[in-house]
Amino acid sequence: MPLSENATPTTPPDDAAAASAPARSWRVPVVVETPQHSGLTSPLDYLAPTALPPGTLVRVPLGRRTVLGVVWDTPAAGPDALPDVQLKPVAEVLDGLPPLPAEWRQLVGFAAGYYQRALGEMALMVLPPELRQLDATQWGRREKRLHKAVARHDDSVATAERPPLTPQQADALDALAEPGSPKPFLLWGSTGSGKTEVYLRQAERALEAGQQVLMMVPEINLTPQLEARVAARFADRRIVSLHSGLTPAQRLRNWLMAHYGHADLVLGTRLAVFTPLPRLGLIVVDEEHDPSYKQQDGARYSARDLAVYRGHLHKVPVILGSATPSLESWFNALPLAEGGTGRYRRLAMPARVGDGNMPTVRVLDLSRAPKPARGDSAPPLARELLSAITERVERGEQSLVLLNRRGYAPVLQCGDCGWKSGCPHCSAWRVFHKVDRTLRCHHCGFTERVPRACPDCGNQDIAPVGRGTERLEEQLAEALPGARLGRIDADVTKHKGALEAQLASVHAGEVDVLVGTQMVAKGHDFRRITLVAAVNPDAALFASDFRAAERQFALLLQAAGRAGRDAGVAGHSEMWVQTWHPMHPLYQALRCYDYADFARQQLKEREMAGLPPYASLAMLRAEGRTQEAAQAFLLEAARLVQDHAGEAVRLYPPVPTPVQRVANVERAQMMIESPQRLALQRFLAAAQSVWLAQAQQHRRSGLIRWAVDVDPLAI
């Protein structure tokens, strides 16, 4: 759609219905948040007493409500536009707030088009929730408080000293400083190689040039550690964070600091990619491979991919950092001669700071471990591994035991009749949490007390099956008497400040053995850990999801990187992997930390199978009161748009999702594939209007909602 920076001046006709309108009005296009699949995908026209520049925030009437809207770019009104006499006037303008810049509007417009969402939904979704509720009077009070906060800033605080650079870090920074059109940089550095220092040095360059910096992390639990390091380095600069852990007032204040240009550095999670920054000079995406950068509901955008697009819009460098890059990013960083696209420039940092070695990987074959006696449960760790952890405890070193499953046990079972603790609202098991004696569904949240006896047969001997972090901690306490144990997972860190307290105890040496999920496997700088053990990593080896092996390799290598980060103990640090499949190629690649070879094998398999990055995928998802209703919509959707597909787009038969019922809603999905990204986008754009009309008819037969997921992470 062509962009226009000018509103259209109009003169309302001399009509009684327009008597209250000003003598001279301007027709302005405004995007507002409309109901999903309402068909209102374009800006709506309103009348304003003055010409309003695009990006201005206004409050406008929509039905019986007055809502926040953004004045948008659009060509002059077409022949089908409503006459001015039928247009409603703008209710209020948020005066004093700078218009959202053109690059921000282009980013939002691109995201809405690419991810097949309404423009108004995308534009309003990325604004702070509290801003959407303010009228002009309330906004005026907030603006005064903001300016007072800016005036109180103290820029005389001393900053932390910079550590010396390694040769690899210096080479990477030299490459980042080279003139020319900036390509995205893939900073491929092993865990502990000092990628964060490269981020900080490059940020320093941007700040000295009077620019702003956007640094992104995948999860909120990684924010405090990086924020503390950034604050120490740039104590004389204004630094703000943007993530879901902030109160609405804090989030609005920090967003405004960035938008006004008062904040020099913005640190945030995925939604921070939409933060308006008038002086943007650098974008950093740490742990770029992490799936948390992909929104999993509503507008399912990828913040990593949008960061790359935003760097292109602003013509600023983008650094994607990871020890285990996503295969899509790795493919884009491969030169054309090696079968890649050459769109990114790869900067390699294979050595750790201080020349410390990565932990020695020991793959433990469980098939050769002694079998437990009849009637005894299998121990959580093999005898050799327990001995190795005991040695660490006696030397005053720390160990990390990784089990990516929280709770006490994934299911309770009756040995007499076979009853299991299924969720009545989902096609999933309820997890047993021993600490509060509850059965909890991790999909819909349904929670009940553990029954005294089997609900089906009355047997009182119902037992846990399987193992979660809660049970693993209990078993290790029995196997390692005298050892100080700690646990970090979503259950023990749900209260404010709990995660920081747990991490502080680990850093202070108050924990000998730390049990945790993937929360502790990435981004944390544990200096005393010398042993990492993966308890049950085999489940992902044979999963139906084609990305399962990639994610598991990344998780294990990131977990291994928590050990031996202090060069003084790196020589005897180890990574133990308990497995029934010791010869699996994933573990063989992990032994020598050969990510390049692992990526080469995975890319070869994906090319043969026609999977990303050699093809583009979208998933049409449907939810209904019955599975038949959901699949009927998908079958009809495929039939109606078959002519649009042609030979370049393939539609697969609909199937239930892996967890097909959640909160009494049945879910199904249909995969759409094309070897050409542009062909897939054209098809989806043409199909949207067809599916919208079809959905209205299917609602009578049980369809609840439907959505398109472009570039899905799981199939």
Q: What is the pLDDT of residues 625-642, one digit of tens each?
A: 999 999 999 999 999 998
> What's the pLDDT score for residue 21?
44
Q: Give the per-residue pLDDT at 18.
A: 41
Residue 576, pLDDT score: 96
**How far is C-alpha 537 from the geometric centre of its chain's CA atoms?**
22
State how beta strands 265-268 and 239-242 pair. parallel
CA atoms of 107 and 390, how far apart (whole Å):
54
**Model pLDDT, residue 564:** 77
Annotated binding residue 426: yes
Q: Between the CA of residue 266 and those of 230, 602, 692, what are the distances in Å?
A: 10, 35, 38
The pLDDT of residue 155? 61
Identify the residue with better confidence: 83 or 171: 171
Other CB atoms within a 10 A radius of the CB of residue 288 amount to 27
Which of helix, strand or coil describes residue 158? coil
Confidence (pLDDT) at 377 = 58
Per the prediction, the chain carries an average pLDDT of: 88
Q: Which domains does the chain have, with CATH numbers?
A: 8-151 (3.40.1440.60), 167-354 (3.40.50.300), 356-406+468-606 (3.40.50.300), 408-466 (no CATH), 616-710 (3.30.70.360)
Residue 10 has pLDDT above 70, yes or no: no
Gap between the Cα atoms of 587 and 598, Å rounded: 10
Q: What is the helix (H) or strand (E) element at residue 431, kind and residue range?
A: strand 431-433
| Selected residue with higher pLDDT from 371 and 223 | 223
**Residue 441 clears pLDDT 70, i.e. is over it:** yes
pLDDT at position 37 = 62
Q: Is 137 left (phi over 0), alpha (psi -120 to 50) or beta?
A: alpha
What would the DSSP string read from start to end of 191-241? TTS-HHHHHHHHHHHHHHTT-EEEEE-SSGGGHHHHHHHHHHHTTTS-EEE
Provide the pLDDT for residue 590: 94
More confident residue, 40 or 174: 174
**One-letter amino acid of 485:** L
For residue 591 the two structure tokens come to: 């032994």
Alpha-helical runs (H) found in 38-135: 102-114, 119-125, 129-133
Lowest mean pLDDT across 5-19, 39-53, 698-712: 5-19
Hey, how many other C-beta atoms are within 10 angstroms of the C-beta on 261? 16
Say if CB 516 and CB 469 are below 8 A apart. Answer: yes
Average pLDDT over residues 177-198: 90
Q: Which two tokens stand for residue 223?
A: 């924010």
Those residues with Cβ within 8 angstroms of residue 132's Cβ, 6 or more apart along the chain or in another chain? 67, 68, 124
Q: How far apart are CA 23 and CA 490, in angstroms?
A: 60
The answer to whether 592 is a known ligand-binding residue is no
pLDDT of residue 229: 87
Question: By the 8 A CB rule, do 586 and 598 touch?
Answer: yes
**Reduced 3-state DSSP string for 530-547:** EEEEECCCHHHHHCCCCC
Query: Rounded distance, CA 704 to CA 694, Å?
Result: 13
Tell me the average pLDDT across 101-107. 97
**Crossing angle of helices 223-233 and 498-507, rounded to 10°:** 70
Q: What is the pLDDT of residues 648-684, one digit of tens each?
A: 999 999 999 999 999 999 999 999 999 999 999 999 9
- Angle between helix axes 248-260 and 136-151 (nearest 10 degrees) is 70
Q: What number of CA atoms fall less than 13 Å from residue 319's CA on the CB side?
A: 31
Spatial distance between the Cα atoms of 349 and 190, rounded to a whole number of angstroms = 6
Q: How confident is the model at residue 408 (pLDDT cuts 50, 70, 90)?
A: very high
Q: Which tens digits make up the pLDDT trace of 325-360? A: 999 999 999 999 999 999 999 999 998 887 778 899
Q: Is the dihedral of CA 631, 632, 633, 635 positive or negative?
A: positive
Number of H helices, E strands in the chain: 19, 29
In 80-179 the beta strands, taken as DSSP E runs, fall at 92-93
Whether the pLDDT of residue 82 is over 70: the answer is no
Per residue in 568-579, pLDDT (tens digit) is 555 689 999 999
- Mean pLDDT lowest among 155-164, 271-280, 366-375: 366-375
State the CB neighbour count (10 A cutoff) for residue 451: 15
Neighbours of 369 (CB within 10 A): 17
The arithmetic mean of pLDDT across residues 485-512, rounded, is 88
Greatest Cα-to-Cα distance within the chain, rounded to the nearest angstrom: 95
Residue 81: pLDDT over 80? no
Give the separation between CA 244 and CA 350, rounded to whole angstroms.
34
Contact 668, 676 (CB under 8 A): no
Asked if residue 15 has pLDDT above 60, the reply is no
pLDDT (tens digit per residue) in 236-254: 899 999 998 889 999 999 9
Partners of 709 in the beta sheet? 619
Separation between Cα atoms, residue 52 and residue 48, nearest integer Å: 7
Pick from 38, 85, 42, 94: nearest CA to 66: 94
Whole-number pLDDT of residue 157: 64
Whole-model pTM?
A: 0.91
Helix (H) or strand (E) holding 307: helix 303-314
Banded model confidence at residue 2, pLDDT cuts 50, 70, 90? very low
**Which among 521, 520, 401, 415 has a CA at the least distance from the CA of 458?**
415
State the number of CA atoms in the 13 A half-sphere of 614 facing the CB: 11
